[in-house]
Amino acid sequence: MEESKKGGKAVGDEVLNWDLAAISKAVQARQLSPKELTKVLLKRIETENKKLNSFITIMYDHAMIAAAQAEQDIVRGDIKSPLHGVPFGIKDLIYTKGIRTTMGSKLYKDYLPEEDAFVVKKLKEAGAIIVGKLNTHEFAYGTTGDTSCFGAVRNPFNPNKMTGGSSSGSGAAVAAGLCFAALGTDTGGSIRIPASYCGIVGMKPTYGRVSKRGVYPLAPTLDHVGPMTKTVRDNAMVLNALAGYDSGDPYSAKKEWEDFTEKLGTGVQRGVIGIPTSYFFDHLDCEIQAKMEQVIQVYKDLGVTIRFVEIENMEKISQAHRTVLNSEAYTTHRHHLDRHPDLWEDEVKSRLQTGETVRAFEYLEAQEIKKLAFQSFNKVFEQVDVLLTPNTPIMPLDLYKREVMMNNENHHIFTVLNKFTGPSNLTGLPCISVPSGFSNDGLPIGFQLTGRAFDESRLYQFADAYEQATKSK
């Protein structure tokens, strides 16, 4: 077919609902044209973004130039990676050279970075096409995703509901088929919460696995960068491209490259999943509780042994995470608060200012508790392969709602949404959010798997086993 010789067939809207792996296969077989694919995707973004507000900047010209180059490369047989010719979105906290990077803030609404973040360079080296910059809770300091100087991101399953944050635009865009994968950041759950609320897969890799150079910091000892995708396999494919040592990032870990797709499809019979006996299952929404019971049963049917475990010091660990987050976030933004007090979203500014009251001894005590956290989790991992927990205690609330009733008490949503996700930012352990179906109102529910340090492959193995077992249901 003449069209195939030129890089692929014309593209219909139906392919925008395919997963990354299917798109990759078709593009590399020259059954899909990267140029046509990108053109159709950009048209869909233009229409759907008016409803969801997931993109801050749409990179029409840059995307089409990259797509044309990808098409030429693939026609020549110069295929750089499975991501070659596949459109991506980038959270607008991650620098893109010469492309507006706003952090969701008026302070940076016209900021043009002088170089790409390390992860953006990695995607470009892999041949990925970047179609735009995705909305974020201002400076990534919020778990709801509805506070940005560019407006709230709306949940694709109900536009009146929050997406979760701070990687709100990334979650919504992938779920709505506006890109085949996106990059997010996670300091207390900012990949996993929107992944759960938008029904997609989100991975927070081990601290140091993926470079943070060129990503605007929130709390440097807690920040992570990771992929958000439609499927587990897609996610592993993207992490293959992102992972690697970066001498320019002092937190980067020297680890040999591995193929994170290698264990997919190998089964999990004889595996052991740990279920915490406290903290993670306290005061759960009834629909999340029911869904967790279904997830556990699926794993039992797959031949997995379920073992109930006690993780010591969880309340202390959770509080230590909040102390470190408040202190480091204030330190990061103190100069902006002093110099530009009127350019902030009020809620974010007020939250940052609370960090000024954290005293040195409290921060140091939190760092000591971090050591206890490693001990507590490592002790459990002597007995199990992975831990299974809910992602959040509650379903998505209406946009801008801030109070939630739990255990007959009112709680601020920021203390609730990251209750189950924040501890792994303190430990730096890898976690993946996996979709587990929908509520009675049609809103997505996800669960979380946590693993040993640098054991992402095992997390993908267990996540994929669940995904495959439930795919046709």
* 37 vs 170: CA distance, rounded Å: 19
* 81 vs 235: CA distance, rounded Å: 14
Q: According to DSSP H, which parts of 143-224 are helical?
A: 168-175, 192-198
Q: Which of 33, 81, 91, 212 is catalytic?
A: 91
Per-residue tokens: 111: 């900021």
Of 49, 148, 46, 62, which Cα lies nearest the Cα of 98? 62
Chain Cα centroid distance, residue 350: 25
Q: Which of 148, 166, 168, 211 is catalytic?
A: 166
* 343 vs 149: CA distance, rounded Å: 9
- Decide if 177 contacts 17 (C-beta within 8 A): yes
DSSP state of 395: P
3-state DSSP call for residue 84? coil
Q: State yes or no: is 166 an active-site residue.
A: yes
Instruction: Tell me which amino acid residue 307 is.
Output: R
Q: Which of 190, 196, 318, 376 is catalytic?
A: 190
> What does residue 54 show for φ and ψ, rounded to 5 degrees?
-85, -30
Contacts of residue 288, defined as CB under 8 A and 6 or more positions apart, other chains included, come to: 390, 392, 393, 394, 395, 445
The residues carrying an active-site annotation are 91, 166, 190
